[in-house]
Chains A and B, each alone.
Chain A
């Protein structure tokens, strides 16, 4: 079965660091982009950034300049989203997704279940 399995919910304090993960299975992990999408409480979807596990090329959304780091370890088919210093405004569900980019077609064809990150003092 083709799927993206995300790490479990996290509760952190402001200023703490965090890394959440996403493991792909059932397909060749290095041949698709992995994108992270944020959904704040009661809000819509926002693009965080993408990584191509094949060569670790990364692109971040202009809305998240330098605040998060996206990485991947292709040897274990896993992508990561990392914060060095969390803020309360980082509280959200973070979805790991598989992003298709073929010529004129660009879309998300597979979603993980999401990781709830709660940042509170």
Chain B
């Protein structure tokens, strides 16, 4: 069982806005910043969001992140079929002195 809790799956239609939630505790999300990763089928993960809401260069502004207390969210607006992938949240955890990941959320574009 992962330290950070994500819904196993979410779905949306092209053009729609979807959100993926990530719930943690005071020792991880509550105290540290959150990052998000996209893993397309059969490929390595890729950084989407760091520092709760910062996008690396090359990531479209349709992707956005937010954090409140011990929870975080990833929002994708203008959903595209090629964004069907697994999405993971992560944060440093002070209690184990290492990063922890969420279990991942499979996004299906209907």
> Chain A residues in contact with chain B, CB under 8 A?
35, 44-47, 49-50, 59, 61-62, 95, 99-100, 104-114
- Does any Cβ of A come within 8 Å of B63's Cβ? no
Beyond A44-B103, A46-B101, A111-B45: 14 further Cβ-contacts under 8 Å? Answer: A44-B101, A45-B37, A45-B45, A47-B100, A50-B98, A59-B97, A100-B50, A104-B32, A106-B99, A107-B51, A107-B90, A108-B90, A110-B47, A111-B44
- Does any Cβ of A come within 8 Å of B96's Cβ? yes
Classify the interface of chain A: helix, strand, loop or mixed.
strand
Tell whether, in the assembled complex, residue A47 and residue B45 are in contact, meaning their CB atoms are under 8 Å apart: no
Residues of A within 8 A of B88 (CB): 44-45
A120, B98: Cα distance in complex, Å:
30
Tell whether, in the assembled complex, residue B32 and residue A108 are in contact, meaning their CB atoms are under 8 Å apart: no
Contact of A104 among B33, B44, B86 (CB under 8 A): B33
Residues of A within 8 A of B68 (CB): none
Given A44-B103, A47-B101, residue A107 in contact with residue B50 (CB < 8 A): yes
Given A45-B45, A45-B88, A113-B44, residue A107 in contact with residue B98 (CB < 8 A): no
Residues of A within 8 A of B45 (CB): 45, 95, 108, 111
Q: How many residues of B contact A (CB 8 A)?
A: 25
Residues of B within 8 A of A100 (CB): 50
- Does any Cβ of A come within 8 Å of B60's Cβ? no
**24 residue pairs from A and B, CB less than 8 Å apart:** A44-B101, A44-B103, A44-B104, A47-B98, A47-B99, A47-B100, A49-B98, A50-B98, A62-B98, A95-B44, A95-B45, A104-B51, A106-B32, A106-B99, A107-B35, A107-B90, A108-B37, A108-B47, A109-B50, A111-B44, A111-B45, A111-B46, A111-B47, A114-B44
Given A44-B2, A45-B45, A95-B44, residue A105 in contact with residue B33 (CB < 8 A): yes
A111, B33: Cα distance in complex, Å:
19
- For chain B, residues 71 to 96, give those with C-beta under 8 angstroms from any C-beta of chain A: 86, 88, 90, 92, 96
